[in-house]
Amino acid sequence: MRLLQRGYRVTGLARDFSKFPCADPNFTPVCMDLSDLDALPAQLDALTRQDTPVDGLVCCAGSGRFGSLEEFSLVQIRTLLDLNLTSQLYLVRALLPGMKQHAGGNIIFMGSEAALAGGKRGAVYSAAKFGLRGLAQALRQECAASGLRVSIINPGMVQTEFFNELDFRPGEAPDNYILPEDVAQAVQLILETREGTVIDEINLSPQKKVIRFPKPGEN
């Protein structure tokens, strides 16, 4: 919403827009399941055939699953990596040629504090986010000559529905978590930074890191 309020034209990719009903004329919803890698190439090809040039790409699709490595099935490992890393590669690969043609723009990846340091019960998730951070760093060098800027934002625990299916969540005090608005502000900062300057990486952390483990039935 922040970008729409500032007059940007935004195209959103998601499986379900029912949780984000938006009637803004500058918003275009495109239903797409980024976890379905078999269907993704044809859908992305259709997207790139649209006449509207892409000036900015924010790659923020992802999901979390945590546990010791041996607790993951092979299917669960692949599912997590497909959405959190491989789908981002597919998406950027599809849109990159057009963005380079227009000699400018931004690609912003949504990393995580898990991209900075691996943690207990986070091997698969960290592997995906470390990969995403490496992708951002490599593309930063590949795209500089084209005038295309590449950045990554690494948030700590953000107070969202991300934790609904997990057995832990941030503490309840306001300094125990980040708000989605904080991340949106970082995105805006990257997009509106003076041309010729790149913000390579932004790390966002709650002032106090508190993790709680609610009992079954508690919020």
- Indicate the helix (H) or strand (E) that contains 154: strand 148-155
SS3 state at 174? helix
Instruction: Tell me if 111 sits within 8 A of 129, measured CB to CB.
Output: yes
CA distance 147 to 125: 31
Tokens of 119: 């943690």
Tokens of 1: 């919403």
Instruction: Tell me if 106 sits within 8 A of 146, measured CB to CB.
Output: no
CA distance 67 to 124: 9
Strand order in the sheet with 201-204: 56-59, 105-110, 148-155, 201-204
Q: What is the dihedral of CA 31, 105, 188, 203, to 10 degrees?
A: 100
User: Would you say how long the chain is, in residues?
Assistant: 219
Given the residues 8, 90, 125, 177, select the one marked as catalytic.
125
Tally Cβ neighbours within 10 Å of residue 72. 17
Annotation marks residue 125 as catalytic: yes
Q: List active site positions.
A: 125
